[in-house]
Amino acid sequence: MLKYGLMYGLLSARRRAREMLLPAITIATGAFLVVIVFGMQAGIKQQAASLGHAGEIGHAIVLISVTVLLVGVVEAAVATTRTIAHRTRELGVLGATGVRSRPVLVALLVEPVVTAFFGALGGAVLAAVVGAVLGAANAVSSSVSASGTVTGLVIAVAVSVVAAAITSVVPIWRAVNRPPIKSLSAS
């Protein structure tokens, strides 16, 4: 049953691709920052050292870039609440015809998770390209480390996907477990 839920979710996510553009962009912005920060850690450490307290400022920069990524991810969850509101009747029909709540939950989770994954990946790849170009053109004072970029990419994608799933699951769960009659009679 979960497999069908997943496929149903993928199909509807494809249909609603345009509406997921804004959350994808906000997530991409956050992911871009995270990857740049990890890739240029050496340069940022240098800048932090000029301010004194190099270690603490370095931590603060990582903490704040991850926070910004989370802000981007929350937009995906806000978009999910919009999706749910649009599809209340559809959820009612599914419930009334006896579809269990778990496959529906999976189907609705596909949208934020896919958005987060592609958004983060897009932003991270863009950051890696920008970092590489800047490094090659010697536009930045420090080198862009490849290992740092990869770490940043993995962290950005993992944090976005997990955070998108966690923030979206509660509104979806509430919507899925509404009595079908209420969902169907909603305007």
Task: Write the binding mask 125 to 164 for other proteins: x where contact by CB under 8 A, - elsewhere.
Answer: ----------------------------------------
Contact pick of 14, 100, 102, 174 for other proteins (by CB under 8 A): 174
HSE value, Cβ hemisphere, 13 Å, CA-based, for 99? 21
DSSP state of 18: G
HSE value, Cβ hemisphere, 13 Å, CA-based, for 10? 6
Q: Are 12 and 104 in contact (CB under 8 A)?
A: no
Residue 88: CB partners within 8 Å, gap ≥ 6? 175, 183, 186
Contact pick of 13, 20, 26, 87 for other proteins (by CB under 8 A): 26
* Residue spans of alpha helices (H) in the chain: 2-15, 21-39, 41-51, 54-86, 88-96, 101-136, 146-176, 180-185
Count of residues that bind other proteins according to CB under 8 A: 38
Question: Residues 37 to 96: which contact other proteins by CB under 8 A?
Answer: 37, 44, 47, 50-53, 56-57, 59-61, 63-65, 67-68, 70-72, 74-75, 77-79, 81-82, 85
CB of 11 vs other proteins, minimal distance in Å: 23
What residues make contact with other proteins under the rule CB under 8 A? 22, 26, 29-30, 33, 37, 44, 47, 50-53, 56-57, 59-61, 63-65, 67-68, 70-72, 74-75, 77-79, 81-82, 85, 167, 170-171, 174, 187
